[in-house]
């Protein structure tokens, strides 16, 4: 008798069925997390492909300089009590710096993955004032004017495409690879890269041994330098004019360090999806279908370092500004965000089946709940795989249509009610459409999502307001075995 009552309770208890449905929904979080891992894996594969292209073409570029450096002797007492001379450097920045660049982007592919690379033609010009060593507390006799030099930092020197020559007061001087001191021009990378994911997470990737070796080679050659004539020690009230042209290959990002007392930067390109960033946004910019133009004017008062100093007292890279050439919206980012709504869609779909059980007295087996839940989970696997080929918009349309059609067809068979199947399909279509709209409106996603949840709860409360939940479990009491 007790076994009969217990079996009847399991079969007809609303509380038990709600508990089972809740457990099934939670269990589906496991395949959902597997889909998230799949998205992250595909993203890493894409980043590896893009990184391979960048390493062969040229990495993201940051250009610092030109910087005038003068070696000098500083005498110290060593451990033996001897007075010895140590070479150090005084650094001077230009009074004016004009940068005019034209960027020519290209799309390079590795398999199904695309990377944005560019070639650029950049003209540098400006003027240095006469270096005043005395203001830095150095005697002229201590300064090694014969070995003064100009240095320019280039984060990936493999991207240089032309023979570089410095025009210094109408004197042509050839640039040489490498910089003599890392006081100012320093490494902008390390053996671990934080890779910003244009969505909801950051991915930290440890470089392989081969990648680390390549990175070290880049860091050891983070620029170029040109020796200056010894006549620079002679006072020149008018200062020294300079100019040089740099043809540089790179990937996605191009940034400049505003080392001039007044720095003016002008960039133009036929790329229509730029993102301006760094320490300073452009003063003027025009973005159209045929490209963009942008210009910056940055003063020394805007930066955090002076026009001259000794040694490695300041980090100039914090003032980098420039442009990033976007490849369009990343489908992986939107796929990751859409997965976060998976549990909502699963719960609401299960809720429709549950109300069909309550109002139509049609029992739905837990296995049937699981199959419907798995169909919803597979929507995200379809979304990721199709978006790699056809783009996110088409992928979302195809995947959602296939999922809605499958669940609606299955619902008609399970519920034996075409009207309920139509309601189920309509609710799913609304949910998928609503999630897509939320993905497009990132700034208002939280507000709209919260309003949706509140509205759904209000509808459920309204539809169930007259249901006698205590009676629902016993509405089939007559079907139970008699004593």
Q: Tens digits of per-residue pLDDT, 242-275? A: 999 999 888 888 899 999 999 999 999 888 888 8
Q: Is the pLDDT of residue 14 over 50?
A: yes
Query: Quick one: 414 and 474 in the same domain?
Result: yes
Cβ-count burial 124-152 (b if 16+ within 10 Å, e if not): bbbbbbebebeebebeeebbebeebbbbb
Which pair of structure tokens corresponds to residue 419?
């009207």
Q: Tell me the mean pLDDT in the region 183-204.
A: 46
Query: Quick one: 81 and 114 in the same domain?
Result: yes
Whether residue 94 lies inside any domain: the answer is yes
Query: Quick one: 314 and 351 in the same domain?
Result: no
Please give the pLDDT value at position 472. Answer: 58
Query: Quick one: 162 and 286 in the same domain?
Result: yes
Please give the pLDDT value at position 126. Answer: 92
Query: Quick one: 342 and 305 in the same domain?
Result: no
Whether residue 324 lies inside any domain: the answer is yes
Please give the pLDDT value at position 471. Answer: 61
Please give the pLDDT value at position 125. Answer: 92
Please give the pLDDT value at position 9. Answer: 54
Q: Which of 293, 328, 363 is the last residue of a domain?
A: 328
Gap between the Cα atoms of 205 and 193, Å rounded: 6
Q: What is the pLDDT of residues 389-438, one digit of tens each?
A: 877 888 888 988 998 888 888 888 777 777 777 887 888 888 888 888 87
Q: What is the pLDDT of residues 289-319, one digit of tens each?
A: 888 889 999 998 888 889 888 888 888 888 8
Contact present, 215 and 191 (Cβ < 8 Å): yes
Q: Which of 309, 328, 347 is the last residue of a domain?
A: 328
Q: Is the pLDDT of residue 44 over 70?
A: yes
Q: Which of 328, 345, 371 is the last residue of a domain?
A: 328
Please give the pLDDT value at position 193. Answer: 36
Contact present, 54 and 193 (Cβ < 8 Å): no
Whether residue 211 lies inside any domain: the answer is no
Per-residue pLDDT band for 190 (boundaries 50, 70, 90) equals very low
Please give the pLDDT value at position 289. Answer: 83
Please give the pLDDT value at position 266. Answer: 92
Contact present, 191 and 207 (Cβ < 8 Å): yes
Query: Quick one: 25 and 70 in the same domain?
Result: no
Query: Quick one: 6 and 130 in the same domain?
Result: no
- Which residues are within 8 A (CB) of 367 and not within 5 positions of it... i.e. 6 or more apart? none
Which pair of structure tokens corresponds to residue 278?
């760094």
Per-residue pLDDT band for 467 (boundaries 50, 70, 90) equals low
Q: Give the count of domains, the chain.
A: 2
Mean pLDDT for all residues in the chain: 77
Q: Is the pLDDT of residue 211 over 60?
A: no
Q: Of residues 121 and 327, which shows the higher confidence score?
A: 121
Query: Quick one: 284 and 340 in the same domain?
Result: no
Please give the pLDDT value at position 202. Answer: 33
Please give the pLDDT value at position 228. Answer: 85
Domain that includes residue 161, residue range:
60-186+222-328
Q: Is the pLDDT of residue 191 over 50?
A: no
Q: Tell me the mean pLDDT in the region 9-38.
A: 76
Q: Is the pLDDT of residue 331 over 70?
A: yes
Q: Is the pLDDT of residue 68 over 70?
A: yes
Q: Is the pLDDT of residue 153 over 80?
A: yes
Query: Quick one: 317 and 254 in the same domain?
Result: yes
Q: Tell me the mean pLDDT in the region 177-192.
A: 69
Q: Is the pLDDT of residue 173 over 60?
A: yes
- Which residues are within 8 A (CB) of 438 and not within 5 positions of it... i.e. 6 or more apart? 341, 445, 448, 449
Q: Is the pLDDT of residue 70 over 80?
A: yes
Q: What is the pLDDT of residues 120-143, one digit of tens each?
A: 999 999 999 888 887 887 776 677
Per-residue pLDDT band for 5 (boundaries 50, 70, 90) equals low
């Amino acid at each position: 008798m007790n076994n009969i009552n217990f079996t009847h309770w399991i079969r007809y208890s609303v509380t038990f069925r709600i508990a089972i449905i809740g457990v099934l929904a939670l269990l589906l979080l496991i395949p959902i997390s597997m889909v998230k891992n799949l998205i992250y894996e595909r993203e890493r594969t894409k980043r590896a492909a893009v990184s391979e292209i960048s390493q062969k073409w040229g990495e993201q570029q940051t250009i610092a300089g030109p910087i005038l450096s003068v070696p000098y002797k500083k005498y110290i007492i060593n451990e033996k009590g001897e007075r010895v001379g140590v070479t150090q450097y005084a650094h001077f920045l230009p009074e004016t710096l004009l940068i005019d660049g034209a960027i020519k982007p290209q799309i390079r592919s590795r398999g199904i993955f695309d990377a944005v690379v560019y070639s650029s033609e950049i003209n540098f010009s400006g003027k240095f004032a006469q270096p005043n060593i005395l203001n830095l507390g150095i005697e002229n006799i201590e300064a090694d004017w014969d070995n003064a030099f100009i240095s320019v930092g280039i984060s990936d020197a493999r991207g240089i495409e032309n023979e570089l020559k410095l025009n210094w007061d109408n004197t042509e001087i050839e640039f040489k690879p490498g910089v003599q001191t890392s006081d100012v021009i320093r490494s902008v990378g390390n053996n671990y890269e934080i890779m910003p994911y244009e969505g909801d997470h950051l991915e930290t990737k440890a470089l392989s041994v081969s990648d680390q070796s390549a990175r070290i080679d880049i860091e050891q050659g983070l620029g170029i330098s040109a020796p200056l004539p010894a006549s620079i020690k002679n006072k020149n009230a008018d200062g020294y004019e300079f100019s040089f042209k740099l043809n540089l290959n790179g990937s996605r990002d191009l940034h400049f360090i505003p080392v001039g007392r007044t720095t003016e930067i002008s960039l133009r390109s036929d790329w229509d999806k730029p993102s301006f960033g760094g320490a300073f946004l452009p003063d003027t910019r025009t973005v159209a279908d045929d490209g963009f133009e942008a210009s910056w004017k940055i003063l020394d008062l805007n930066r955090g370092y002076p026009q001259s100093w000794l040694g490695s007292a300041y980090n100039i890279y914090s003032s980098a500004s420039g442009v990033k050439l976007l490849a369009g919206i990343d489908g992986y980012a939107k796929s990751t965000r859409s997965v976060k709504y998976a549990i909502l869609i699963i719960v609401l779909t299960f809720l429709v089946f549950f109300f069909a059980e309550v109002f139509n007295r049609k029992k739905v087996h837990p296995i049937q709940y699981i199959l419907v839940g798995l169909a919803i989970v597979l929507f995200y696997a379809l979304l990721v795989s199709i978006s790699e080929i056809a783009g996110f918009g088409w992928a979302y349309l195809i995947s959602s249509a296939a999922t809605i059609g499958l669940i609606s067809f299955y619902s008609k068979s399970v519920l034996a009610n075409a009207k309920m199947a139509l309601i189920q399909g309509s609710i799913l279509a609304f949910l998928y459409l609503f999630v897509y709209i939320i993905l497009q409106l990132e700034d208002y996603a939280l507000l709209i999502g919260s309003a949706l949840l509140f509205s759904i709860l209000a509808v459920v409360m309204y539809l169930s307001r007259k249901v006698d939940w205590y009676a629902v479990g016993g509405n089939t009491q007559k079907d139970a075995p008699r004593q």
